[in-house]
Amino acid sequence: MKLFIDTANVDHIREIASWGVLSGVTTNPSLVAREGRDFMAVLREILAIVDGPISAEVVSTQADDMVTEARQYYELSHNIVIKLPATAEGLKACSRLTGQGVKTNLTLIFNPNQALLCARAGATFVSPFVGRLDDISTDGIQLVRDIAEIFTYHGITTEIIAASIRTPGQVVAAAKAGAHIATLPPAVFHQMLKHPLTDAGIERFLKDWESVRKQG
Ligand code: G3P
């Protein structure tokens, strides 16, 4: 399973990219609003850091407007993936953009039928929202598992991005459920790496090494 970062914060993207673990970036209007910066400028900076798919979400609700908005982002770089909502207008925009060779990420997916429709409209990626389903006492990982089973069974090449991930446990579960990608908030990358025995081990090695140095 590949790892994307789910943020519009350039400093966080730069830090995690420097670990060498990042395959792409996803953003959404809420994440962009949080930064309070011009989105085009932010996208240019992200493009200079990460060589991989970078999702930019449209805010139009009608297919024609979505396509116009998408073209502005796509002209910046062909690494830009257009994030569209899983609605009838989103499907129309998806099939048109797919016909023009533009990659798409169909978002706000909460059931397997939405994912199937998006795949059939030509989506490059679908984004089931794990955390938001868990928030309402529904099994978000089961949705990823169901979509993965359907796509595998029918040879569908659309990739599944496990989105709305909030915990390291959800990352492991998404990987085991067949997600191709998980997109994670910066904090989850740090939580995945942290282990008290790793910290204690380093401390002990350094202490022992220091005593050898003193003896010698
Ligand atoms: O970018 C889509 C998704 O990852 C949003 O997550 O935490 O707002 O449900 P969240």
Nearest CA to ligand 1 atom 3: 164
CA of 9 to the centre of ligand 1 (A): 14
Q: How many domains does the chain have?
A: 1
- Are the CB atoms for 140 and 134 separated by under 8 Å? yes
pLDDT of residue 156: 98
pLDDT of residue 214: 86
Residue 35 vs residues 42, 104, 135: alpha-carbon distances, Å: 9, 23, 25
pLDDT of residue 142: 98
- Are the CB atoms for 118 and 127 separated by under 8 Å? no
For ligand 1, what atom is nearest to the CA of residue 166?
Answer: 7
Q: What is the domain range of residue 164?
A: 2-214
69 Cβ below 6 A of ligand 1: no
pLDDT of residue 101: 97
Rounded distance, CA 52 to CA 198, Å?
A: 31
pTM (predicted TM-score): 0.96
25, amino acid identity: V
131 Cβ below 6 A of ligand 1: yes
Q: Which of 84, 129, 160, 184 best tests ligand 1's pocket when mutated (most atoms within 8 Å of CB)?
A: 129
CA of 5 to the centre of ligand 1 (A): 11
pLDDT of residue 215: 85
Rounded distance, CA 166 to CA 162, Å?
A: 11
CATH number of the domain that 75 lies in?
A: 3.20.20.70
pLDDT of residue 149: 98
Phi, psi angle pair for 73, to nearest 5°: -70, -45
CA of 107 to the centre of ligand 1 (A): 10
6 Cβ below 6 A of ligand 1: yes
164 Cβ below 6 A of ligand 1: yes
For ligand 1, what atom is nearest to the CA of residue 31?
Answer: 1
Q: Tens of pLDDT along the chain (216 residues)?
A: 999 999 999 999 999 999 999 999 999 999 999 999 999 999 999 999 999 999 999 999 999 999 999 999 999 999 999 999 999 999 999 999 999 999 999 999 999 999 999 999 999 999 999 999 999 999 999 999 999 999 999 999 999 999 999 999 999 999 999 999 999 999 999 999 999 999 999 999 999 999 988 887
For ligand 1, what atom is nearest to the CA of residue 27?
Answer: 1
163 Cβ below 6 A of ligand 1: yes
52 Cβ below 6 A of ligand 1: no
